[in-house]
């Protein structure tokens, strides 16, 4: 994972787990909702903001199912720590925590 910061956005390059493909996602920091990459056939939108030193990204994924639209709400929190970064991903009652070490 590579994270780049500019005044108006955070850009994250991450392995999506599919054939080791790297996906680049730009998160706008102006509070607006914007499209981001997601699964094929799904509409994926995000809002991003700083909460102190943490980046909080609220993601909404939707797709039309046989019985109507399916919507999934996801919250990702990126927390920098000395030498590491913690990514906490919450969807419904499930939370996943990933720990990344800073490359030297």
Domains of the chain: 2-101 (2.40.128.20)
Distance from chain centroid for Cα 71: 16
Report d(CA 94, CA 26) in Å as an integer.
25
Whole-model pTM: value is 0.88
**Which residues have a Cβ under 8 Å from the Cβ of 3 and sit 6 or more positions away?**
10, 11, 12, 13, 78, 85
Q: Express each pLDDT in 41-86 by its tens digit.
A: 999 999 999 999 999 999 999 999 999 999 999 999 999 999 999 9
Alpha carbon 73 to its chain centroid, in Å, reads 11
């Amino acid at each position: 994972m590579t994270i780049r910061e500019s005044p108006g956005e955070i850009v994250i390059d991450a392995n999506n787990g599919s054939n080791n493909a790297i996906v680049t996602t730009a998160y706008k920091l102006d509070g607006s909702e914007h499209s981001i990459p997601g699964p094929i056939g799904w509409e994926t939108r995000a809002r991003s903001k700083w909460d102190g030193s943490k980046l909080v990204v609220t993601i909404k994924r939707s797709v039309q199912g046989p019985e109507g639209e399916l919507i999934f709400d996801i919250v990702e929190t990126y927390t920098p720590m000395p030498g590491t970064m913690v990514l906490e991903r919450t969807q419904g009652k499930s939370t996943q925590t990933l720990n990344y070490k800073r490359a030297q």
